[in-house]
């Protein structure tokens, strides 16, 4: 995806392509957007996708975050859950997963894969920025 103008991205500085679009690869954009999530707050895959300009790309956001663990600077991928505030995959019915632990370390509570008070902790880059 390429933003038409630099200010459209609201992200950090990017170089320009020959045609004037902003050079960016989706994965990097996801990482940058995720780093904007405040400590102690959470957002959704789809919210990041919308922020990046493609509401339908939520699935790719998950794909990108899946590969974000060895990235520097660090990406707080644990602050991204699905639209309903649930932790992904086989984590259901387990309280002792790395992701749940990371969230609880930041003061949030996770019960059976569900972020407690998700609606209050939810942080939407579209409205909060």
When the beta carbons of 6 and 88 are compared against DNA, the nearer one is 88
Rg (CA), the chain: 15
11: left (phi over 0), alpha (psi -120 to 50) or beta: beta
When the beta carbons of 14 and 85 are compared against DNA, the nearer one is 85
Distance in Å, CB of 98 to DNA, minimum? 8
> For binding to DNA (CB under 7 A), which residues are involved?
1, 26, 44-47, 49, 54-63, 65-66, 68-69, 77-78, 80, 82-84, 88-89, 99
Distance in Å, CB of 76 to DNA, minimum? 9
Distance in Å, CB of 15 to DNA, minimum? 19
Q: Output 111-120 pairs: Cβ under 8 A, ≥24 positions apart.
A: 113/86, 113/87, 114/84, 114/85, 114/86, 114/87, 115/42, 115/81, 115/85, 115/86, 115/87, 118/42, 118/81, 118/84, 118/85, 119/85
The span from the CA of 88 to the CA of 113, in Å, is 8
Distance in Å, CB of 110 to DNA, minimum? 13
When the beta carbons of 11 and 87 are compared against DNA, the nearer one is 87
When the beta carbons of 63 and 123 are compared against DNA, the nearer one is 63
């Amino acid at each position: 995806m390429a933003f038409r103008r630099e200010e459209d991205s609201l992200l950090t500085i990017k170089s320009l392509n020959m045609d004037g679009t902003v050079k960016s690869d989706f994965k990097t954009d996801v990482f940058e957007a995720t780093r904007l999530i405040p400590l102690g707050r959470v957002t959704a895959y789809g919210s990041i996708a919308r922020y990046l300009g493609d509401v339908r790309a939520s699935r790719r956001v998950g794909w990108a975050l899946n590969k974000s663990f060895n990235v520097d600077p660090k990406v707080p991928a644990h602050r991204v859950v699905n639209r309903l505030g649930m932790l992904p995959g086989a984590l259901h019915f387990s309280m002792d997963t790395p992701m749940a632990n990371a969230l609880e370390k930041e003061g949030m509570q996770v019960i059976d894969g569900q972020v407690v008070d998700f609606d209050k902790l939810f942080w939407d880059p579209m409205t909060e920025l």
